[in-house]
Amino acid sequence: MKYYVVAGEASGDLHASNLIKAIAQLDGNAVFKGLGGDRMQAAGMPLLLHYKDIAFMGIAEVLQNLGTIRKALHRCEADILQFKPDVLIAVDYPGFNLRMVKFAKQHGIKTVYYISPKLWAWRSSRVETIRKYVDKVILIFPFEESFYRKHRYTNVHYVGNPLLDELRDFQHTGTFRFNNGLTERPIVALLPGSRLQEINRCLPPMLECAALMPTYQFVIAGMKHTRPWIEKFGLQGNVKAVFDQTYDLLSHSDAALVTSGTATLEAALLNVPQVCAYRTSPITYLVAKQVVKVPYISLVNLVAGKPVIPELIQNDMQPQRLAEWLHYLLPGGAKRDAMLADYAAVRELLKGSGASQRAAKVTVDFVGVANP
């Protein structure tokens, strides 16, 4: 069978790559193509486009880059018609992918949405688009099932969270500190995001926080495509950066400052006490305050249903406040043990490893691949 997979950000690239590998194990004749990143390419999928070329987040940023996004949409549509897939697999990234599933369905192509758009957070009316153009939705958070039941959409499958698969297979490098010129002093990880806009807005206050805590080592987790964006800040003093070593960094860290998104859940599953810290453009923030319907922005707090980790958003993301919270969370800090206990409860709410394999089986069964 032929699978066209579309992911538009780093976390989608990670989860889609594992899904691609799992599908290939079940369907020996699987052929892939689509839009994604380095991990999906390494898993065996030729890329039409790399997600970094269209990774815009926030209302103002998207409006400024509409021309680039439209060109990417048209290229994908033309490529889908040429490739003639048996199924389109959309992975998160709803602004782009809801257009893709509509286009695919209108051309007689089956559609699967892996990692549901966050309709439970805002723009829940888009569930009507899901109802019309998506054949199956594969969920990775337990609380999403009740949302879809409430909106009378039943073609959903909760498979658990694929991060548990990734972490199950992760083996940290014992020489990580030596390889990166780090000492035995405590490490604070900085995860400023994977998009240029996130890094430009979130990294500066993180670096100012590091300057307030000179006895600690602050290490930025970057990726290959974010390297020039990070290095332009001229890192010095007690700040270093590592690239494509995020899990290794977290496994050696005593605490972390993390932007919202998948990274907060990764830090929690690796038992790293953290502060969720995020800034966006003033326009995006003002609009988000009006339309976002959930009480938290971090996945850790959403899964737990309570404030497990602090969220310092927009003007609250001040260097002094970041430093104060880190002192609470570093070894000996007053709030460290309670957060680690809550992490254990979050892990229990997820479904254990095997999510990628379960999602792959839902997909290949749907497109009609005979079981080996």
Are residue 95 and residue 114 in the same domain, yes or no?
yes
Identify whether 316 is part of a domain: yes
CB 244 within 8 A of CB 219: no
Give the model's confidence band at 65: pLDDT under 50 very low, under 70 low, under 90 confident, else very high: low
- Please indicate, yes or no, whether residues 181 and 268 belong to a single structural domain of this protein: yes
Q: Tell me whether residue 16 is in a domain.
A: yes
For residue 223, which phi and psi values (nearest 5 degrees)?
-125, 170
Domain match, 23 and 76 both: yes
Q: Is residue 372 part of a domain?
A: no
The three-point CA angle 297-264-14 to 5° equals: 110
Task: Pick left, alpha or beta for residue 244 (phi over 0 → left; psi -120 to 50 → alpha; otherwise beta).
Answer: left
Kindly report, residue by residue over 89-104, the tens digit of the pLDDT.
999 989 899 999 999 9
pLDDT digits (tens, 9 = 90+) for 177-196: 999 999 999 999 999 998 88
Token pair belonging to 53: 């070329």
Q: Examine the domain organization and report whether 209 and 75 are in the same domain.
A: no
The model's confidence at residue 372, banded by pLDDT at 50, 70 and 90, is: very low
Does residue 56 register a pLDDT over 70? Answer: no
Q: Are residues 111 and 180 in the same domain?
A: no
Round to whole Å and give the CA distance between 285 and 287: 5
**Nearest Cα to 20, choosing from 358, 368, 360?**
360
Top pLDDT among 120 and 34 is at 34
Answer yes or no: do 343 and 362 share one domain: no
In terms of domains, do 137 and 201 share one?
no
CATH number for position 267: 3.40.50.2000
Are residues 185 and 157 located together in one domain of the fold? no
Kindly state whether residues 177 and 112 are assigned to the same domain: no
In a domain, 262, yes or no: yes
Query: Does the residue 67 lie in any domain?
Result: yes
In a domain, 110, yes or no: yes
Range of the structural domain that residue 126 is part of:
2-162+354-367
Q: Can you count the helices (H) and strands (E) in the chain? A: 18, 13
Q: Looking at the structure, do residues 190 and 332 belong to the same domain, yes or no?
A: yes
For 37, 176, 258, 299, the CA distances from 246, given in Å and listed in that order, are 16, 11, 12, 18
Answer yes or no: is 190 within a domain. Answer: yes
User: 11 lies in a domain?
Assistant: yes
C-alpha–C-alpha distance, residues 141 and 303, integer Å: 7
Shared-domain flag, residues 124 and 180: no
CA 331 to chain CA centroid, nearest Å: 28
Average pLDDT over residues 129-139: 96
**Do 95 and 118 fall into the same domain?**
yes
Q: What's the structural domain count of the chain?
A: 2
Q: What is the pLDDT of residue 62?
A: 63
298 neighbors 260 (Cβ within 8 angstroms): yes
